[in-house]
Amino acid sequence: MIETRTIRVGDARIAVHTTGRGPLALLVHGYPLDHRMWLDLMHGELAAHRTLCAVDLRGHGDSPWALDRCHAMELFADDLAAVLRSLDDGPADVVALSMGGYAALALCERHPLAVHSLALVDTRASADTPEGKAGRTAAMQNVLERGRRWLAEQMVPKLVSPGCDALVRARVQTMVESLAVETILADLEGMRERKNRRVVLPQLAMPVLVVVGALDVITPPSDAEAMQKEIPGAQLAVIPDAGHLVPMEAPGPFAAALGAFWGVEIS
Ligand code: MLT
């Protein structure tokens, strides 16, 4: 069973969804998504080996927007640290996808003692390129003028691979279409302004796994390989036939890679 509770962090309320037993693993979703992207993992075998805690970043899923015009990665990171403090369970195994990975690297920079191990999934450490920043600005304008349906039309084909299962695609579409426009704008601003955290990579002292879908077109395998090379001792798992949302498109291979990293045997 998944239990949901809300943690107050300053003016924000952060929803966390928890299942399983054992050491704490914090699951951090990407953009424009929420905790539901982890449901396959949470209902799988790893719940027998970890307390899986999927957070809804502020403004996402069951966490209301807290009136922030910019969801800076530092703000998300401080929220995650506050959530971990309130769970009071010592350092966590952090599993973070894409924008969640940007926030997780900020967490490692600002609160390194909160992280026991780190799985960076379909993400990158570098900042947006000038073209990427211009794309964020244009997306903000488009979302303001055309609404989130426009975003779903743009994003869903990039989030999953062309061969993605129709139900998985529909689940992704539902998540994107349920995200508030004010959150989309704040996320875009936060990602556009995020700093380059490549400098953090050689300093990561915890075990690190880098995971990427072989067909990821948002943060492609070349980004994952570059990150792995810069992190001392990091492992790399390239998951075949999956796009950007590996935990949804390839839940079995994803859980197997994570289980191997955690030293847990699953069938
Ligand atoms: C995500 O999946 O979190 C985003 O696509 C990342 C990004 O747009 O940089």
Q: How far is the CA of 112 from the centre of ligand 1 (A)?
A: 23
Classify residue 267: in a domain, yes or no.
no
Q: Best substitution site from 27, 28, 31, 248 to test ligand 1's pocket, by max atoms within 8 Å of Cβ?
A: 31
Whole-angstrom distance, CA of residue 144 vs CA of residue 256: 41
The CATH number of the domain where 143 resides is what?
3.40.50.1820
Could you tell me where the beta strands, DSSP code E, fall in the chain? 3-9, 12-20, 24-28, 51-56, 92-97, 115-121, 208-213, 235-239
Atom 4, ligand 1: residue with shortest CA distance? 31
* Assigned domain for 186 exists: yes
Q: Which atom of ligand 1 is nearest to the CA of 98?
A: 3
* Domains held by the chain: number: 1
Which residue has the CA at smallest separation from atom 7 of ligand 1? 99
Closest atom of ligand 1 to 136 CA is 8
pLDDT, tens digit only, all 267 positions of the chain: 999 999 999 999 999 999 999 999 999 999 999 999 999 999 999 999 999 999 999 999 999 999 999 999 999 999 999 999 999 778 999 999 999 999 999 999 999 999 999 999 999 999 999 999 999 999 999 999 999 999 999 999 999 999 999 999 999 999 999 999 999 999 999 999 999 999 999 999 999 999 999 999 999 999 999 999 999 999 999 999 999 999 999 999 999 999 999 999 888
**Domain span at residue 197?**
3-262
Residues in a beta bridge with 19: 52
Tell whether pTM > 0.85: yes
Rounded to 5 degrees, what are φ and ψ at 148?
A: -75, -15
Backbone angles phi, psi at 29, to 5 degrees: -75, 170
- Within a domain: 63: yes
Tell whether 252 is covered by a domain.
yes
Alpha-carbon gap, residue 60 to 57, rounded angstroms: 6
Q: Is residue 20 one of the residues assigned to a domain?
A: yes
Q: Is residue 45 part of a domain?
A: yes
- 62 part of a folded domain: yes
Q: 124 lies in a domain?
A: yes
